[in-house]
Amino acid sequence: MLLQLRHMNPVGPQRKNSRQNRMGRDRAKLLRSLTIDRGEGRPSAAPHAWPRRWLLGLAGLVALLAGAWAFVPHLRISERAAQPAAAPSEGGRSAQTTALPPTEPQAKAGLTASGYVVARRKATVAAEVTGKVVELLVEEGMVVEAGQVVARLDSLLAETDLTLARSRASAAEAAAAAVAADLADAERILNRIRSLSQKSIASEADLTKAEARVGILRAQLSQAQAQMQTANLDVQRNATVLDKHKIRAPFGGIVVERSAQPGEMISPISAGGGFTRTGICTIVDMDSIEIEVDVNEAFIGRVRTGGGISAVLDAYPDWTIPAVVVAVVPTANREKATVKVRIALKQKDPRVLPDMAVKVRFHEEEGAAAVPTAEAVSAAK
């Protein structure tokens, strides 16, 4: 029966094979559709594109070379202008000279520093006694001389004390004179008794009594004279105290500050938290003005005593003042790493005022010439 059916349907296996072949072809198409096409679908380059690019690049290179060739002559001309003038040699050719580096003195000539104008003699005048100001005789900018009275204090009590001292001195002098008179009389009596005692008229007791009286009076006279000297010293002291009520200038100069006013109390000892002043005015000796600058300790070896200086005040930038190094203070500032240098002005000018800012420039060549060596000093001697 089975064999009969197979003979009756012979196309069954062929359909199955064709179906499998179709599925394989479909699978192959699907796989080809999933692949990335790298060469297909791109427009092919035109056959004339690459030659055109090469021609453009070659034209740009030619233009660049032409510009460089045109710039070379200008570059040579600038190099010749920058070169120093050549000195002719023996063979007629020019010998090229090179610029030498600056020498050491020229490199060091630019040392500068800044500082301030200061006065070596500057004092705040104060009273030596406590008192009330009754008269002030100075103003700012006034020129005063040494010993000139600048203020007066209330001296009523001082005058009274001086009068009492003089009275006590007069009393002591009178007491000394009375004792001296008594002593002179006692000495005359003693001489008379001695002469009478030699003649056996006066007794020995009278002679001893007269000698004792003379000794007592001499002691009293010495005491009276000492008291008189004490009284005279007291008079001098009170006179000095009275003179202290006149406040005088310690030296000549210019008054730069007036601190007190008439009616204020002045005392040599400051009263903390009170209204008592200690100063009358501030006087500056303009002849003692100099410059103080701070030089970095790394360059202090380039500063010499006697070296030349060019000073320029900030207030007068177009005015150069000649100056000279007076001294290098032998100590350094630990916080600022600087050393103080004192500079004296060669010419005095009223425009130079204390506390003005100034800049200085050190002339090391002049400084080196200004400082004499030990051999030169010994030769001069």
* Domain CATH code at residue 134: 2.40.50.100
Quick check: is 349 in a domain?
A: yes
pLDDT at 39 over 90: no
pLDDT at 138 over 70: yes
Burial call 150-163: b when 16+ CB within 10 Å, e when fewer = bbbbebeebeebbe
Q: Mean pLDDT across the chain, nearest whole number?
A: 77
Quickly state the pLDDT bin for 322 (edges 50, 70, 90). Answer: very high
Write out pLDDT tens, residues 253-285. Answer: 999 999 888 988 888 876 555 567 788 999 999
**Whole-number Å distance between alpha carbons of 153 and 242:** 9
Residues 6+ apart with CB under 8 A from 145: 249, 252
Say whether both 301 and 275 belong to one domain: no
CATH label of the domain that carries residue 360? 2.40.30.170
Quick check: is 95 in a domain?
A: no
What residues make up the domain containing 223?
156-242
Say whether both 176 and 129 belong to one domain: no
**Whole-number Å distance between alpha carbons of 132 and 153:** 5
Quick check: is 259 in a domain?
A: yes
Question: Which residue is it, tokens 């200038």?
Answer: 249
Say whether both 272 and 133 belong to one domain: yes
Average pLDDT rounded to a whole number, residues 161-181 = 92
Say whether both 213 and 340 belong to one domain: no
Say whether both 232 and 304 belong to one domain: no
Say whether both 160 and 238 belong to one domain: yes
Say whether both 133 and 279 belong to one domain: yes
Residue 326 tokens read as 């007076």
Question: Which residue is it, tokens 């007291």?
Answer: 234
Quick check: is 299 in a domain?
A: yes
Q: What is the pTM of this model?
A: 0.54
If one compares 360 and 274, the residue with the highest pLDDT of the two is 360
CA-based torsion, 208, 214, 218, 223: positive or negative: positive
User: What is the predicted pLDDT for the residue at 17?
Assistant: 62
- Alpha carbon of residue 321 to chain centroid: 19
Write out pLDDT tens, residues 333-345. Answer: 889 999 999 999 9
Average pLDDT rounded to a whole number, residues 105-116 = 68
Write out pLDDT tens, residues 4-31. Answer: 444 445 445 555 566 667 776 777 777 6
User: What is the predicted pLDDT for the residue at 208?
Assistant: 85
Residues 6+ apart with CB under 8 A from 281: 124, 125, 138, 150, 151, 255, 257, 258, 259, 260
**Whole-number Å distance between alpha carbons of 352 and 323:** 13
Say whether both 275 and 301 belong to one domain: no
Quickly state the pLDDT bin for 97 (edges 50, 70, 90). Answer: very low
Quick check: is 147 in a domain?
A: yes
pLDDT at 61 over 80: no
Quick check: is 251 in a domain?
A: yes
Strands (E), the chain: 87-88, 94-95, 112-119, 122-125, 131-136, 143-144, 149-153, 246-248, 253-258, 265-266, 281-284, 289-296, 308-313, 320-333, 338-345, 357-363
Q: Based on the structure, what is the number of domains in the chain?
A: 3
pLDDT at 198 over 90: no
Over pLDDT 70: what percentage of the chain? Answer: 69
**Whole-number Å distance between alpha carbons of 168 and 155:** 20
Quick check: is 320 in a domain?
A: yes
Average pLDDT rounded to a whole number, residues 116-124 = 92
Say whether both 132 and 199 belong to one domain: no
Average pLDDT rounded to a whole number, residues 165-190 = 91
Say whether both 258 and 208 belong to one domain: no
